[in-house]
Amino acid sequence: MLILDKPYISKFLENTIVEMELPVLKNDAIKEFGLTNDIDYLKDEEFIRKFKENEEFFIYSNSENPINWIANNLSFTDLPEKINIFKDKVEFRKLLKDIYPNFFYKEISFSELEEIDITEIRKPFIIKPSIGFFSMGVYKVNSVDEWGNVVKELKREVKRMKGKYPIEVIDSSKFIIEENIGGEEFAIDVYYNDLGEPVILNIFKHIFSSGEDVSDRVYITSKEIIENYYSLFLDFLSQMGNLVNLCNFPMHVEFRVDKDKQVTPIEVNPMRFAGWCTTDIAYYAYGINVYEYFFKQKEPNWEEILKDKEDKIYSIVVADLPGDIKINNIEGINYEGFVSHFENPLEIRKIDYREHAVFAFLFTETNRDNWQELEEILNSDLKEYIKLKE
């Protein structure tokens, strides 16, 4: 069963729902997105009744917006409790305290930002909303001198975020300060099957333009990445699953891995895979329909899948607007020029930049010896693709 919501529903997901004849909750988002009538839509009462009656049903959501609906309507299950453990970053750190006993974190309220004494906190540290999404409101603080500017920027960003997402997705009233986690950043799509075993469906490496960059511009996946990190992540996921007794539960998990191959989780996003349906890249890269794998309890045969992928890199490129351009000054986007930068673009998904400050998500395939094309887009401000009003 599915609960669909903003910000985005891909045609790939819609087609999968029709092909698999999956029931979908009939909510306001369905009307806004204008999805096909070939889907089996269920009103609230029918959705709840079917879920109660059939233990074989389990839920996937493309978004975290329905978390409040789940809390209010599925309280007879353990879903709300499990979602909260992962969605609230403070609760998540409490869950892992026995695995990471020396990890520093501290919860503060928005009103305490200007009052807290950060001289006693080891730097660098990260501050972000305790309940958050994407890289919104995430800042790295390297010194006491930077704190004043970070607070100002945080306040501006909180003002911009207000009203764009439900409080269950982004709660700007509470923040967490935690130690900076060193190493390279990764994200994975995984579900726990009916035996409580984690099944990894994709592994992404989040690449950055610099040590200060916290943007979501480029995520890559490849044979090398999956083969090098699969066992590491599977070990941690097995430990975490035992702590919460997870079954039939999808999630998107972010990690850092240091030079000694020590794995530290950054956060868990419950009930979904990679946001904005970017999880679909698993199909373009590896032929894995993650929704089908979850609902049919399928497990990838990675040895077979990866055997012809030696020199290929698959990327998600998030084309976000530069912060110094006012949306009202934009006349249009040169999508053709943007796509032409890449040697083998697989799919371009145009986004309403006036609402989301992102003009596209792009899936692309790059030969390993053409890494430069990813470096260039990673460091670009993308202004060359934005036409401004005269």
CA–CA gap between residue 202 and residue 188 (Å, rounded) = 6
Write out the H or E segment, with its range, that includes residue 33: helix 28-33
- Pick the residue with more confidence: 347 or 215? 347
CA–CA gap between residue 266 and residue 93 (Å, rounded) = 9
Which residue do the tokens 């698999």 mark? 20
Q: Taking residues 311-318, report their average pLDDT.
A: 96
The amino acid at 67: I
What would the pLDDT profile of 132-184 be if each residue is shown by its tens digit?
Answer: 555 566 888 888 888 888 888 887 777 766 655 554 445 557 888 999 888 99
CA–CA gap between residue 361 and residue 349 (Å, rounded) = 5
The amino acid at 80: P
What would the pLDDT profile of 324-343 be if each residue is shown by its tens digit?
Answer: 899 999 999 999 999 999 99
Is it the case that residue 223 has pLDDT exceeding 70?
yes
Residue 376: helix, strand or coil by DSSP? helix
Strand order in the sheet with 249-257: 263-270, 249-257, 184-192, 198-207, 218-222, 312-320, 358-367, 344-350
pLDDT at 55: 66
CA–CA gap between residue 270 and residue 292 (Å, rounded) = 18
- Pick the residue with more confidence: 144 or 219? 219
Is it the case that residue 354 has pLDDT exceeding 70?
yes
The amino acid at 197: E
The single-letter DSSP state of residue 321 is P
Q: Which tokens belong to 287? A: 């032929």
Burial of residue 10, with CB atoms counted within 10 A of its CB: 0-12 exposed, 13-18 middle, 19 or more buried = middle
